[in-house]
Structure 1
Amino acid sequence: MTASPTSRMPVAVIGAGAIGRMHIERTLRHPDVSVAGIADPTPAARKLAESLGLAWYADHRELLEKSDARAAIVATPNHTHADVGIDCISRGLPVLMEKPVADTIENAQRLCDAAKRAGVPVMVGHQRRHNPIIQRARALVNEGVLGRPVSVNGMATWLKPDSYFDLAWRREKGGGPVLINLIHDLDLLRFLVGEIDSVQAMTSSAVRGFEVEDTAAVLLRFANGALGTLTVSDAAVTPWNWDLAAGEAPHYAQVSVDTHFLSGTEGSITLPRLHTWRFDGKRGWHEPLTQSQTMLHRQDPYMEQLRHVRAVAEGREQPLCSGVDGIRTLQAALAVHEAALAQHVVRLHTISNPL
């Protein structure tokens, strides 16, 4: 059944932590979708639902049985993603799965296999793909502005407050900036440059001394031959991270810097400010470069992602980040940990998932 163009499509929200609350807030004010109910066993989630006048369920399966949801957003702990997602798929509900798609490659594959058998789409919440900045950058790459990609560089460095680590899982393996934050940058580069072939990495926990890393340096080789570097740290005082630079969320004070640099045989692009550099005539390092900049209207990628959820649920669009896409990005993030632990090059098709 397809929702009428004038009605809002009801969406079940499963998980009401920080990301789940963000989805709830945006869904409540979105013209295309509405909240069918909230499933989360915590007292805080029940209180939130009551304050908003929304139906609350401790068990997501009860929400799926009793609500009129036509799609589901899953923002539960990573290790529950596959099972919760499969419960949604078994009821024919398209799923927007928060990243990472699952905690392991095996569970992610199980989720995607279930979706394929049922003919139900799975989307993964790599919301940067919906940002008009990234959409424009992808268009520039496809138009040949870079030429052949040669190198890419990115930084994801900032300081998380001490209170962030009050939750024990954020101090333990799997709860660090590689899987929480850098996974977005890996997906961004895959989206713009192409598939990642191999990874080398080093990690450090020298600043806080936790079991989990606070810093990582990553070297990438792409299938097209381009090389890339990424640096991530949640223990450094810097402005060089996408969240501060891109202005996607109002709770971050935006700064005017670039964080990602794409270079090719014909030109280069910086993000998020979308500066391009090219030769207009004679080429060579002694010749002057010409700079241009694309100015875009600002748009909330989370709101655009919700529009996309309805379009996918109604069969009007294909997932911009599919479950299979989510697996490939998860492979790259897990390869960072494996490469750092083993201190050798990890090719993605041989990853063993150490977490």
Structure 2
Amino acid sequence: MIAPYPVKLIVVGAGLIGPRHAQHVHDNPITELMAIIDPQPDTKQIAQQLHTLHFPSISKFIEYCNSHKLPYPDGAIVCTPNHTHVKVAGELASYGIHLLVEKPIGSTPEEAKSLKVYTSLKNVRVLVGHHRRFNPYIMEAKRNLHKCGEIVGVQGSWMLCKPQDYFDVAPWRTKSCAGGVLLINLVHDLDLLQFLFGPIHRIYAELLPKRRDHEADEGAALTIKFKNGISGTFICSDNVTSPFNFENATGENPMIPHHNEINGIYRIFGSKGTLSLPDMTIFHQSHMKNSTWLEPLLQEQIEFDVAKLPFDSQLNHFVDVIRGNEDPYCCIDDGISALLCIDAVLKSIDTGMPVIVEDVKNIKSNDEALTLKELRFHLSQTGEASIPVRKFLTNNYASLKTQSNYKLPILIRESFGIPPSLTARFEKGREVKNSLDGLDEAGVAKALADILKQ
């Protein structure tokens, strides 16, 4: 079904990036911000400022929709901590909600592959939030790459200093399993490099010196070989004083000052010219038959509209993805490919050797990532509404245990006066709760069958 305008969206996660997403959804005339979901109490104030609802969890939001007979949202923007992306996305997909999942798509390629399999089964469309693909500087650079001729090399940097409160408000950013500049920030640039030049074949990486007392890395220097033969270097750090990074140079993030005089955070070297970003200057000798160092180079400034915000472009594209008008500009496989590059970086650091990047096609899904772990029936001992559930359990409990080879815990929780419900707990804590109120015995059986399909 094609979603009508405005497209109803929720934002899950109200940390550093969530409120920005929520503001863009609120301001966009073709989208409606249905709710913000985050367990932190101060999220309520953010929601009030945006004239929307706040819920502490997805299950509470779903309960609200069911009790008010409201349709579920058309889409959700997932911007929770990195290691929860697959868990949260899987829970939303179980309700048929289309997804924009912030990068990285998952903690591991295998986990992300399991999300791809699951969302495909649920007919849920997924856009991965590598939003810099929508940045006007990047889009214009891609359109003008041909002016460089045959591209030979690329040089890039992402260097700045994150303040201590960046880590204080989200301690997970200090952990090696989810934080660090490689997984949080370098993954953006590796995605952009593949977006511009194609798949990366091989990476060699050396860690930069650390100055913080954290588990997580503070950056690395890389040499990169692309499958098409292009070679490059890239250096990244979040603990140096420098404006040579995407945010400072482009003004993309309103929280980070824009230094519009910065140039050369990316330099693309080709047989006919060199393109510098974000100043969008091409150095060339197109007026000459053969290039030579004995003659001066001409400078050409590429003029284009820089006013379009990447988050707005990404949001408009997400609406088109939801409506079935476009395929995701950055799909789960693209997100997995960026993760595989990060994996290669980490393996290279561990071994001290260059590492070939694994092909996305070779990645097997981690079936455990979304596996059913437990069923819980909640009912009243004496309530009339719970009679069909009690009958269903009396008649079917033994066969349910047999069908699962007695490996699946099936719990019965009784409490006076509560409405009957069924909760399924999946791997990594994801839970799906269905109300059984008002259902007869056959309806309870169908509700169980539906939840087992997830």
Query: Same fold, TM exceeding 0.5?
Result: yes
Cα separation, 1, equivalents of 2:121 and 2:358 = 24
2:267 is aligned with 1:288: no
Q: Is the 8 A contact 1:205 1:211 kept in 2?
A: no
Q: Distance in 2 between matches of 1:223 and 1:318?
A: 25
Which residue matches 1:175?
Answer: 179
Preserved contact between residue 9 and residue 32 of structure 2 (Cα < 8 Å):
yes
Aligned residues: 348
CA root-mean-square deviation: 1.9
Question: For residues 29-52 of structure 1, what are the alpha-carbon distances to aligned partners after superposition, in whole Å with 9 as ceiling and x for unaligned?
Answer: 111211111221111223322443
One-letter identity of the residue aligned with 2:329:
L
* Residue number in structure 2 paired with 1:76: 80
Provide the C-alpha distance between the structure 1 equivalents of 2:258 and 2:243, rounded to a whole number of angstroms. Answer: 9
Alpha-carbon contact 2:12-2:77 (below 8 Å) kept: yes
Say which of 253, 262, 269 aligns to 2:268.
Answer: 262
Task: Supply the distance in 2 between the matched residues of 1:31 and 1:251 (Cα, whole angstroms).
Answer: 24
The amino acid of 1:168's aligned partner reads: P
CA contact under 8 A between 1:72 and 1:93: conserved in structure 2?
yes
Question: Which residue does the alignment assign to 1:99?
Answer: 103
- Residues 82 and 107 in structure 2, CA contact (< 8 A), matched pair in contact too: yes
Contact 1:101–1:124 (8 Å) recurs in 2: yes
Q: Per-residue deviation at 1:53? A: 3.3
Tell me, in whole angstroms, the C-alpha distance in 1 between the residues paired with 2:126 and 2:325: 14
2:279 maps to 273
Q: Within 1, Cα distance between the matches of 2:297 and 2:120? A: 49
Give the whole-Å Cα distance in 2 for the aligned partners of 1:169 and 1:88.
23
- Structure ID, larger Rg: 2
Over residues 141-197 of structure 1, what are the superposed CA-to-partner deviations in whole Å (9 max), with x where a residue is unaligned?
A: 2xx222222111111001112222324322221311111111111111111111101
The alpha carbon displacement at 1:213 in A equals 1.6
Q: TM-score normalized by structure 2?
A: 0.73
Counterpart for residue 42 of structure 1: 40
Q: CA deviation at 1:205?
A: 4.2
Report which stretch shifted further, 32-41 or 62-71.
Answer: 62-71
Residues 64/149 of structure 1: CA separation in 2 closer, same or farther (3 Å cut): farther
Pairwise CA distance, 1:93: 2.1
Whether the 8 Å CA contact 2:321–2:327 is kept in 1: the answer is yes
Contact (CA 8 Å) 2:13, 2:36: kept in 1 or not? Answer: yes
Distance 2:303 2:228 in 1: 29
Q: Residues 350 and 312 from structure 1, CA distance in 2 versus in 1: closer, same or farther, beyond 3 angstroms?
A: closer
One of 329, 337, 347 as aligned partner of 1:320? 329
Could you tell me how far 1:350 is from its partner in structure 2?
Answer: 7.6
For structure 2, the residue ranges without an aligned partner over 5 or more in a row are 364-454
Instruction: Choose which of 337, 357, 361 in structure 2 pairs with 1:348.
Output: 357
Q: Give the equivalent residue in structure 2 for 1:330.
A: 339
Identity %: 34
Q: Does residue 57 of the first structure (1) align with residue 55 of the second (2)? A: yes
TM-superposed deviation, 1:103: 0.7
Work out whether residues 34 and 53 of structure 2, in 8 Å CA contact, stay in contact via their aligned partners in 1. yes
CA distance in 1, matches of 2:135, 2:37: 28
> In the alignment, which of 129, 145, 148 is matched to residue 146 of structure 1?
148
Deviations 1:196-254 (A, max 9, x none): 01111011343224222213111111001111111111111111000000111222221
Alpha carbons 2:26, 2:50 under 8 Å: kept: no
Q: 2:125 aligns with which of 116, 121, 128?
A: 121
The verdict on how the C-alpha distance between 1:211 and 1:83 changes in structure 2, with shifts beyond 3 A counting, is closer
Match of residue 421 from structure 2: none
How far the C-alpha of 1:64 sits from its partner, in A, is 4.4
Q: 1:27 aligns with which of 25, 28, 37?
A: 25
Q: Does 1:204 align with 2:208?
A: yes
Query: Aligned residue for 2:315?
Result: 306
Whole-angstrom distance in 1 between the partners of 2:11 and 2:299: 45
**Deviates further, 21-30 or 50-59:** 50-59
